Structure 1
């Protein structure tokens, strides 16, 4: 089975979304799904422990090239998601994509265009893309 394109997924969401057709409903569900993604990552840290968060101030070396600095900075993350936590995080990310797609549908925005525009911006701005 081939991987569906963003356009295919967006069309599928359009056909399935019955209950939350109001922009306000979709915005609130999208916000809720963002929170659920964050919560699933937090639970992987605090309840399961498969990943750890060890955050501290980032030290930016003064005499390094910009492309070298990227390798000096930390993600503050140790470990890897276990299978169970990965399944939960993946499900929450999928639900988040569902409501993002629903929002795009209501606003007549093509998700593939959004990805292409962001990719073009990243290519043009490189390290100077502050998003």
Structure 2
């Protein structure tokens, strides 16, 4: 079974979304789902311990080119998500995508177009797209 296109997913969300059709409800659920993603990642660090966070100031040396800077700059994450945490984070990300798609539906925005425009901007601006 192939993955649905963004438009198919957006249409599916539109059909399933009965209770939260109000913009305020969708905004609230979108924010809540985003917080749940953050919470799931936090739990992977604090409860499971499969990943660790070692945050320090990012060192950027003057004179280094931007390509080399990508190799020097770190993510602050050490380790890999275990299967259980990966499943939990993936589930929360899926729920977040659901409500992002619902928000697009309420505002009559095509999610596929949003991603296409953002991709085009990334291609045009390259490393200068610091969004």
> Could you tell me the TM-score, scaled by structure 1's length?
0.99
Over the aligned positions, Cα root-mean-square deviation in angstroms equals 0.5
Separation (CA, whole Å) in 2 of partners of 1:2 and 1:32: 29
Residue aligning to 2:81? 81
> Which residue number in structure 1 is paired with residue 123 of structure 2?
123
Structure 2: unaligned runs, 5 residues or longer: none
User: Quick check: 1:44 aligned with 2:44?
Assistant: yes
Shift of 1:63: 2.1
Q: State the match for 2:91 in structure 1.
A: 91
The separation in 2 between residues aligned to 1:80 and 1:111, in whole angstroms, is 30
Distance 1:112 1:88 in 2: 25
**1:3-42 map, 5 Å:** 3-42=3-42
Distance in 2 (CA, whole Å) between partners of 1:130 and 1:60 is 15
Aligned to 2:53: 53
Q: String of CA shifts for 1:101-130, please: whole Å, max 9, x gaps.
A: 000000000000000000000001111112
| TM-score when normalising by structure 2 | 0.99
Structure 1: where are the runs of 5+ without partners? none
After the TM superposition, which segments of 4 or more aligned residues of structure 1 sit over 6 Å from their partners?
Answer: none
SS at match of 1:52: strand
The 2-side partners of 1:116 and 1:64 are apart by 31
Aligned partner of 2:70 in structure 1 is: 70
Q: Deviations over 1:45-104 (max 9, x none)?
A: 000000000000000011211111110011000000000000000000000000000000
